[in-house]
Amino acid sequence: MKNITVIGGGTMGNGIAHVFAQNGFEVTLVDVASGALDKALTTISNNLDRQVKKGTLTEENKAATLRRIHPMTDLKTGVAGADLVVEAATENADLKLRIFAEIDRHAPSGAILATNTSSISITRIAAATQRPAQVIGMHFMNPVPVMKLVEVIRGYATTDAVCGYIMSLSKQLDKIPVEVNDYPGFVANRILMPMLNEAICSL
């Protein structure tokens, strides 16, 4: 696996692009808004600068990381050469179902399609494609370059091979993947949301 396409260049998408590019993958970053892409590249550059200042990254590695990120506004072209697509667009079920149907039409038949959704069923998203066996949840935490946890979520049809692949790929990114059930909020948000509600009620 060499070519990764990230859909959505917002808070999560720019972090996901950063981490893949820093680990040697070629990344196509797709967003409908060209302004979002400019902002994403500035954010990635600033975050890489912080790593350079801390001494965890060299200037050469920073430059090489930025060279591996290719911004694009056209999804069809953006997914055409992808081995893996990670979708991190706005959290809206109808939008994600439309995006997955479109990715499915244009990505190579062998490509794995992952979503960073926080709350939408992976089985539901997978059903928008003709390849539900190759659809999986890859739920990064914010800020992506810093946080180690990745929740890996199978849909109803996701194969063992695809799940195993995403688990080992996450480790290659120096993350800690944990396989969790396709349940509203998965595990992290299932625990966090009632805690936040309880905190508000306690005031």
Ligand X SMILES: NC(=O)c1ccc[n+]([C@@H]2O[C@H](COP(=O)([O-])OP(=O)(O)OC[C@H]3O[C@@H](n4cnc5c(N)ncnc54)[C@H](O)[C@@H]3O)[C@@H](O)[C@H]2O)c1
139 is catalytic: yes
CB of 115 to ligand X, least distance (A): 7
Among residues 11, 23, 61, 159, the one that binds ligand X under rule CB under 6 A: 11
Q: Nearest-CB residue to ligand X? A: 10
Q: Please state, in angstroms and rounded to a whole number, the distance separating the CA atoms of residues 111 and 47.
A: 29
Q: Which of residues 97-156 bind ligand X (CB under 6 A)?
A: 99, 116-118, 139, 142
- Residue 78's closest CA among 98, 108, 101? 108
Nearer to ligand X, 22 or 116 (CB): 116
Among residues 4, 6, 9, 18, the one that binds ligand X under rule CB under 6 A: 9
**Under a CB-based contact definition with an 8 Å cutoff, are residues 112 and 91 in contact?**
no
Q: Which of residues 46-85 bind ligand X (CB under 6 A)?
A: 75
DSSP codes, 43-92: HHHHHHHHHHHHTSS-HHHHHHHHHTEEEES-HHHHHTT-SEEEE---S-
Which DSSP letter does residue 133 get? Answer: G
Size of the site for ligand X (CB under 6 A): 24
Nearer to ligand X, 62 or 96 (CB): 96
151 is catalytic: yes
Q: Which of 151, 168, 181, 198 is catalytic?
A: 151
- Residue 166's closest CA among 102, 72, 71, 86? 86
Point out which residues bind ligand X (CB under 6 A). 7-13, 30-33, 36, 75, 88-91, 95, 99, 116-118, 139, 142
| Residues assigned a catalytic role | 118, 139, 151, 189
